[in-house]
Chains A and B, each alone.
Chain A
Amino acid sequence: MNKMKRRESPGSNAFLMAVSAVILGLIAGAVLMAAIGSNPFSGFYYLFRGGLMNIERIGNTMATATTLMLVGLSVAFAFKTGLFNISAAGQMLVGGLCATIVAHKVFLPRPLFLIVLIASGILGGAIWGVIPGLLKARFNVHEVVATIMMNWIAYWSIYYFVPTYLKGPSLETESASIAISQSLRAPWLTKLFNGSYMNLGFFIAIVCVVLVKFILDKTTLGFSLKTVGFNRHCAEYAGIRVNSNVVISMMIAGGLAGLAGLTFYTGYSRNMQIGVLPAQGFDGIAVALLGASSPIGVFFSSFFFGILQSGKGFMNAMTSVPPEIADTIIATIIYFTATSVLFGRIWEAVFKRRRTIAKEEQ
């Protein structure tokens, strides 16, 4: 009777897919915990408790989520234009370096200082993003290759800049600590969250979520960026300049990752270490994937990853479960999100089967 009626395709629901990926990731984590002889229930209990049990820990989770949110936005923004930004880590380093220099050398009234500090983070990241964008637009160098290179250029540049210009009093391997008044930390926030790492960066990230959503949904810039991302041949046909959109998109993505570096190096921690490519730069890819590249999705998925990241130490302390289990869960979730097409098929099959059974019963 209803043969021609279009069946709802549950596979296309981004939310359902994200939840499936998370659940499967957690199950995989549980299996691993059981395999090493730990109790998965107490493992998960302490993992989530570690992220959420008191106001200080919640503050730390939020501070962790802040950086992930901005990197996630960066990767998601590039995704929307059909680009794969793998150098969020490098952009974080350069954005963070610029911000750290400002924090050490520029002294201004607090509001003005914050504006300069934020601008320096955006600028550093944007420069690091725009270079692969230009290479792609001008010489058709694949952005994945170019952005990976940019990561290492940033990594080694830090080796030079930090000991030469920002050396701390004791250690050769990290920059001098930034004074609280020159950082994104705010005494009232620290107090509110009981001395956690929570800082003003969180508000920057929230503003960016709203701003990115606004740009993508409501502006002509968003329209052209998305058109290029969905179908560059059609964009070209319609008269949209594909190459300049690629450059703009990478510049904005870089700026967002630069802000992530700002929140990490002048908010969460208050110094820069040499020889570390920030893992958040890569975790952000997972955040964007799980959030289906939408700003709101990124907002929620960054919190989820934030809990895992900040809870894993507590889990390790309270149980015999090593903190790497949390990383394994993240990795598994990435794996399941990346194969989300598979979920679509599975859901499809489940629904179809249910339907056939229903039909046979009639």
Chain B
Amino acid sequence: MDHVIEMLNIRKEFPGVVANDDITLQVREGEIHAILGENGAGKSTLMSILFGLYQADEGTIRVRGKEVQIRDPNDANDLGIGMVHQHFQLVHNFTVTENIILGKEGGFILHRKTASERIAELSARYGLNIDPDMVIEDITVGMQQRVEILKMLYRDAEILIFDEPTAVLTPQEIDELMQIMRNLVKEGKSVILITHKLAEIKAVADRCTIIRRGKLIDVVDVSKTPVSQMASMMVGRPVSFKVEKKPAQVGRVILDIHNLTVLGNKKVPAVKDLSLFVRSGEIVGIAGVDGNGQSELIEAITGLRPIDGGAVSLDGNDITNAPIRMRNEIGMGHIPEDRQRRGLVLSTTVYNNVAIKEYYRPPFSKRGLLDIEYLQEYARTVVDQFDVRSGEGIFSNAGKLSGGNQQKLIVGREMVANSQLLIAVQPTRGLDVGAIEYIHSQLVAHRDKGHAVLLVSFELDEIFNLSDRIAVMHSGRIMDVVLPSETDEATVGLMMTGIDAKGAGHE
């Protein structure tokens, strides 16, 4: 069988790390080929080399049997290689057509009409269901992704690379994307799918290349290989997908949100008249598609964003307008959505980061003077307890830690403080399976100590695995609060799109 892409014995080194060590990838014409690996395994590096963003130190690339040099993305485009990036590269106030022809206008006069007709034709052929005259900011994330796909097709790409394409999609949109991939292959295209989600590979891929720590582990036939086997090849040991937990021992209300309204960045309400409570000893999960007011809700609860209406109380104290430090002192822990921007000071040491919320009070400091020895000793206990690994222990700069260890550091800091309310936003985003397991077990342990946990995640498995109650959020409102035992992912997925259990649409 013909290989459309061959990357042979690729090696790529970055200062201090070998990202790709003798990796070979062979993609057959007309197949969906998955690349499976944990974060940091080297998937993205490999694809960046194929797309011309990096040059390999060693190894050769062949496209349709012919050896090629790919020096930049333009070379890749000329060879018919297109990439759908994780973060879409679209101009928001341009139409679909304008975005697609951007950079390929061809000549001085803009042939918008011809372009638009060709886009409509491509859209129909691959079942993408896109109107070329829509403006990007008016269409859903799923549709924006299809515009990215169209962009590649318009440029006559024969090989399409999808980089973690489902991270921003609802379950329904994921199903649609899978169908689109099948259509692409049916029309003779080849697809490379980069992911760490096994279910997607099982659903759509033909073959799968598994890499771990920069090395090629195996290439397997997806239909003949069980999911558990692929998972253990990816991680290097057997993994469990289920979180072990006892039934919740629910106590008093810790967090009480009452008719909360919060304005978003555009000064329009992003959270609308929302009420929700979290009791001690339970994990309440907020399910929803990214951008439905979750960030604004969390920022309002944690004091990072002003509240426009309603009230929030924490363990009986009204904290609607309380300064952040007061919230911390009452006992609010917060694992923020963006750990590098909010959660850590990357350019300072681990021990300073551990003390960042409490440095100003005894025993961390006395009369304005830091007790640096205590700071370090305290950090050591957190680092040991939460197994944070770094080159120079507590003296490493936080920026030198891997993503998983950075997250463990934040989780450790927020949990050791014994926060009676722990707010965890996307606590496992971008982490590998081992770190996910660990953080999940810690969240459950925190709950079992009788604390309240509010979890926000865009991953439905995570919500279902951890939550004692699930609040489904859509367009700034809670659609419903359901028990995981009495519902399923399909129902919740539907509610996430604004359709309630009775089938009635909202907005």
Contacts and interface: CB of A to CB of B under 8 A. Distances in A.
A237 B343 contact: yes
Given A239-B325, A348-B15, A227 B356 contact: yes
A221 B328 CA distance: 19
A224 interface: yes
Interface stretch (A4-12, A64-72, A141-149, A171-179): A4-12
A105 interface: no
B342 to A, nearest CB: 5
A4 B18 contact: yes
Interface stretch (B154-162, B368-376, B482-490): B368-376
Contact of B352 (A3, A7, A223, A348): A223
Contacts of B372: 218
Interface in A1-42: 3-7, 9
Given A219-B369, A220-B359, A238-B356, A230 B341 contact: no
Contact of A241 (B323, B336, B355, B359): B323
A4 B17 contact: yes
A324 interface: no
A116 to B, nearest CB: 26
Interface string A30-69: 0000000000000000000000000000000000000000
B323 A237 contact: no
B324 A220 contact: no
Given A7-B15, A238-B357, A348-B15, A218 B369 contact: yes
- SS of A interface (majority): helix
B228 interface: no
Contacts of A233: 341-342
Contact of B16 (A6, A218, A222, A238): A6
B461 to A, nearest CB: 28
B324 A230 contact: no
B304 interface: yes
Nearest to A219: B368
Given A231-B341, A237-B343, A239-B327, A223 B18 contact: no
Interface in B324-374: 324-328, 334, 336, 341-348, 352, 355-357, 359-360, 365, 368-370, 372
B503 interface: no
B401 to A, nearest CB: 13
Contact of B370 (A219, A235, A239): A219
Contact of B304 (A5, A224, A237, A348): A237
B391 interface: yes
Nearest to A228: B345
Nearest to A11: B15
A267 B357 CA distance: 44
* Size class of the A contact interface (CB-based, 8 Å): 20 to 34
B343 A220 contact: no
Nearest to B332: A239
A220 B18 contact: no
B499 to A, nearest CB: 35
Interface in B1-48: 13, 15-18
A237 B423 CA distance: 13
B15 A9 contact: yes
Contacts of A348: 15
B370 A218 contact: yes
A218 B324 CA distance: 24
B16 A239 contact: no
A293 to B, nearest CB: 12
Interface in A249-283: none
B360 A224 contact: yes
Contacts of A240: 325
Nearest to B372: A218
A167 to B, nearest CB: 45
B356 A234 contact: yes
A236 B327 CA distance: 13
Contacts of A230: 345-348
A123 to B, nearest CB: 22
Nearest to B365: A220
A111 B347 CA distance: 43
Contacts of A5: 16
Contact of B342 (A222, A223, A234): A234
A223 B304 contact: no
A226 interface: yes
Contacts of A223: 352, 355, 359-360, 370
Contacts of B334: 237
A245 to B, nearest CB: 12
A3 B372 CA distance: 36
Contact of A234 (B344, B359, B365, B369): B344
B360 A231 contact: no
Contacts of B16: 4-7
Contacts of B336: 237
B304 A231 contact: no
A5 B15 CA distance: 10
Interface string A198-234: 0000000000000000000011111110110011011
A230 B353 CA distance: 12
Nearest to B326: A239
Interface in B215-267: none
Contacts of A220: 359-360, 365, 368-370
A9 B16 CA distance: 10
A357 to B, nearest CB: 16
Given A227-B356, A234-B342, A237-B324, A6 B391 contact: yes
Nearest to B336: A237
28 contacts: A3-B13, A3-B18, A4-B17, A219-B368, A219-B369, A220-B368, A222-B370, A223-B355, A223-B359, A224-B359, A226-B348, A227-B345, A227-B356, A231-B345, A231-B346, A231-B347, A233-B342, A234-B341, A234-B344, A234-B356, A235-B345, A236-B304, A237-B302, A237-B336, A237-B342, A239-B323, A239-B328, A240-B325
Interface of B: 13, 15-18, 302-304, 323-328, 334, 336, 341-348, 352, 355-357, 359-360, 365, 368-370, 372, 391
Given A220-B369, A222-B370, A234-B356, 9 more contacts: A219-B365, A223-B355, A230-B345, A231-B344, A231-B347, A234-B344, A236-B304, A237-B324, A239-B325
Shortest 10 CB-CB distances between A and B: which pairs? Answer: A239-B325, A239-B324, A238-B356, A237-B342, A230-B345, A6-B16, A231-B345, A220-B360, A238-B357, A220-B365
